[in-house]
Structure 1
Amino acid sequence: MPDHKHNTRIALWRGNIYGFLTEAFIRLPNEEFIQRITSPQMQTFLEQLQKLDHAKVRKGIGMARDFLNELGSENNHRIMEELAVDRTRLIRSAGKGKLRAPYEGLYKKKEDTHTIILSVKKFYKRMGIMPISYANDSPDFFCTELDFMKQLCLMEAEAQNGLSDIKTIEREFLNQHLGSWIGDYCSAAGETAKTGFYKGLLLILEGFVELEQSYDN
């Protein structure tokens, strides 16, 4: 018989990781952001994340933790500026240089952007989900797609019936959308990032999505 409690714990843990990645990229670095990433809770979360069996995830965690461990003796204002500039470079100013901004439509060569956005929106509508950044950004923005996966994981954890249907949607969305392009963005953005924090996050993101897709193969 299926171990429902175990499956619920796994779904919640996966949802927490998607949520962590969404928040880490979508939030502007400020005092609250610094306090959050340097908190004991964050250290505990990264220690748990370290247990995932993926080289990129482990390497990314090491880079992020090395950066965070150096913050104790640094000026928070300077660190906030450094992180803010790096985040803008990777996400909002990416299209101005060689790095393409993190929108699926900019990374799929065989499909036009309009078709991709329509397909993504169909997934959201099908599940009745409005992802966190959907109202302020394009449906194919990477944080929007990450938050959609987070909400699917939470739905999976709460599901009594139709669990296989939710898992099918997760697999389809990863293979057709998020997992089909995010690795290309992370690899390119990793070469552009200047801080160990965002370099590490990009590796964690890339490795975690690869790990997610491997579970379904």
Structure 2
Amino acid sequence: MDTNDLTALMNDRSLAYRFLARAYRTAPDLAFIEALRQGGADERPADDPLEAFFNELAVASAEQIRIDVAADYNRLFLGMGPHPIAPYESVFSSAEGLLMQEARDEVVAVYRSEGFAVEDAFNLPEDHLSLELEFMALMAERTALSLEAESPDEAERCLSVQRAFLEDHLGCWVPAFCDAVSEQARTTFFRGLARMTNEQVEADRTLIASL
């Protein structure tokens, strides 16, 4: 793979991670749904995890879709259902299933080492899935910028950070999290998103290891 292809791949990865991060950060608003509707008109990959959702979006009102998806988000992740799924690494990785455990401290250390600042407005533990995905997006973007600047050593360092983060963090808990979401989600959006997230992380582990 030449430098231009690798740069494009890193930019594509960054966009994918930013989309996933946004989807888990807060309940989707109307602007998010409308953006998905516009994007759904573009050619999509075969076996798209969100195909069923886009089919619904093509025939239903954006507002109704927003209501349904927001309700599912609240039920799944905000404790408004009987079996909420905490989108935090600590809950899935600690023996006690509690927040603010060792995993949270570890990701904070990684964030700080890379100058990744969590917004004050995001008043939740730092091992929230959205933040871990946003961190990966940032590191993929930095890899692309390093390649464009002809700094291969820095690009390799950024890839090493991503490889370690996938192995030590995302890869350790995202599969179980996505399985739980797939089982409990009521909307095609979150069922598809869970599959997309798991596929992204698993494929990325293989990809980054190969690089």
Q: TM-score range by the shorter chain?
A: 0.7 to 0.9
Partner of 1:32: 31
- Residue by residue, what CA displacement relative to the aligned partner does 1:78-122 show, whole Å, maximum 9, x if unpaired? 32211111011222127x644431100000135874321111011
Partner of 1:16: 15
Unmatched 5+ residue regions in structure 2?
A: none
Instruction: Decide whether aligned partners of structure 1 residues 134 and 182 sit closer, same or farther in structure 2, where only a CA change above 3 A counts.
Output: farther
- Residue by residue, what CA displacement relative to the aligned partner does 1:45-90 show, whole Å, maximum 9, x if unpaired? x71xx26xxxxxx3xx24x222222234324333221111101122
Partner of 2:102: 115
**Are 1:15 and 1:149, in contact at CA under 8 Å, matched by a contact in 2?**
yes
* Residues 81-160 of structure 1 aligned to structure 2 (within 5 Å): 81-93=67-79, 97-110=82-95, 113-131=100-118, 135-159=122-146, 160=151
Query: For 2:127, what is the secondary structure of its paired residue?
Result: coil
**Are 1:132 and 1:144, in contact at CA under 8 Å, matched by a contact in 2?**
no
1:188 aligns with 2:175: no
For 1:176, give the aligned amino acid: D
> How far apart are the structure 2 equivalents of 1:107 and 1:89?
18
Aligned residues between the structures: 202
> How far apart are the structure 1 equivalents of 2:77 and 2:84?
9
Once superposed, what is the RMSD of the aligned Cα atoms? 2.3
CA shift, 1:202, in A, is 0.6
Q: Which moved more, 1:65-74 or 1:19-28?
A: 65-74
**Are 2:77 and 2:84, in contact at CA under 8 Å, matched by a contact in 1?**
no
Identity %: 25
> How far apart are the structure 2 equivalents of 1:71 and 1:170?
34
Give the TM-score of the pair, scaled to structure 2: 0.86
Give the TM-score of the pair, scaled to structure 1: 0.83
Partner of 1:199: 191
- Residue by residue, what CA displacement relative to the aligned partner does 1:120-143 show, whole Å, maximum 9, x if unpaired? 011101111125688332110000
Partner of 2:64: 78
**Are 2:143 and 2:159, in contact at CA under 8 Å, matched by a contact in 1?**
yes
For 1:74, give the aligned amino acid: A
